[in-house]
Amino acid sequence: MKVLPTFPFVPKKDILLIKDLAAFEKIVNRDPRPYDINMLVMPGTLEDKHKNVDPGTGIPAVRRVFNLIYLLKSGEHDVQLGAEERWLKPNDLVIVPENTVYASRYIHQCTGYCIHFATEFIQPLLQGPLAAEFPYFDLEAEHIINVTEKESALLAQSFQDIIGEYERFSHEKDHVLRNLIHILLLRVREIHRPHAKKLKETATRAMDLTNRFKHLVEKNFIEQRQVSWYAGKLNITPKHLGDVVKETIGRTPRQVIADVLLLEAKVLLRSTDNSISQVAQQLHFDDQAHFAHFIKQRSGLSPTELRSKL
Is residue 117 domain-shared with residue 239, that is, in the same domain? no
| CATH number of residue 135's parent domain | 2.60.120.280
Answer whether 301's CB lies under 8 Å from 309's CB: yes
C-alpha span between 164 and 158 (Å, rounded) = 10
Is residue 215 domain-shared with residue 194, that is, in the same domain? no
| End residue of a domain, out of 202, 234, 252 | 202
Helical residues (DSSP H) of the chain, grouped into ranges? 21-27, 46-50, 119-122, 130-133, 149-167, 173-202, 205-220, 227-233, 238-249, 253-271, 276-282, 288-299, 303-309
pLDDT at 59: 81
Quick check: is 2 in a domain?
A: no
Range of the domain at 131: 16-202
DSSP notation for 125-146:
G-SS-HHHHSGGGSTTS--EEE
Quick check: is 93 in a domain?
A: yes
| End residue of a domain, out of 177, 202, 227 | 202
Distances (CA, A) of 263 to 57, 199, 218, 219: 16, 28, 11, 14
For the chain, the domain total comes to: 2
Quick check: is 247 in a domain?
A: yes
Quick check: is 74 in a domain?
A: yes
Is residue 23 domain-shared with residue 101, that is, in the same domain? yes
Quick check: is 166 in a domain?
A: yes
| End residue of a domain, out of 151, 169, 202 | 202
Tell me the per-residue pLDDT of 93-115, one tens digit each, with 9 for 90 and over: 999 999 888 888 889 999 999 99
| CATH number of residue 254's parent domain | 1.10.10.60
pLDDT at 4: 43
Whether this model's pTM surpasses 0.75: no
Tell me the per-residue pLDDT of 127-142, one tens digit each, with 9 for 90 and over: 989 999 999 999 888 9
Quick check: is 107 in a domain?
A: yes
Answer whether 29's CB lies under 8 Å from 107's CB: no
Q: Is residue 145 exposed (0-12), middle (13-18) or buried (19+ Cβ within 10 Å)?
A: buried
